[in-house]
Amino acid sequence: MRLSQLQAEAVWLILVETCGASQHEDDTECFVRYAQDNPQEFRFQGNLGFGGKLYFGTVLRVACYQEDETPERKRMVDHAKIERKKSIKRISWPKISDSLKA
């Protein structure tokens, strides 16, 4: 699923606020560029550790390595999912059929 610049910036903000992704400008720009290309997965690490990733598919999914999962990290992943659902109401997201055409 390719994202527009606005969508990518909104997703990165969710990752920063919910999962401790880097707030460094270079990391933000790198993610935004990657998300607009042909993204598969993006390792952002943050508070989810080395395995903290965002998976691009028909739905965006945040995860960490199963062996590194703790109750606190699971709450972060769940919170990121809730914030993603809230952002759908504020931002025009591509339909699944549109992302499959790309």
Do 36 and 3 touch, CB atoms closer than 8 A?
Answer: yes
Report which of residues 76 and 1 the model is more confident about. 76
pLDDT digits (tens, 9 = 90+) for 10-67: 999 999 999 999 999 999 999 999 999 989 999 999 999 999 999 998 888 999 999 9
Mean pLDDT of all residues in 93-101: 45
Mean pLDDT, to the nearest integer, of 66-86? 89
pTM: 0.81
- Selection from 4, 89, 84 nearest residue 39 by Cα: 4
Q: Which residues contact 77 (CB under 8 A, 6 or more apart)?
A: 19, 48, 62, 63, 64
| pLDDT at site 59 | 84
pLDDT value, residue 12: 94
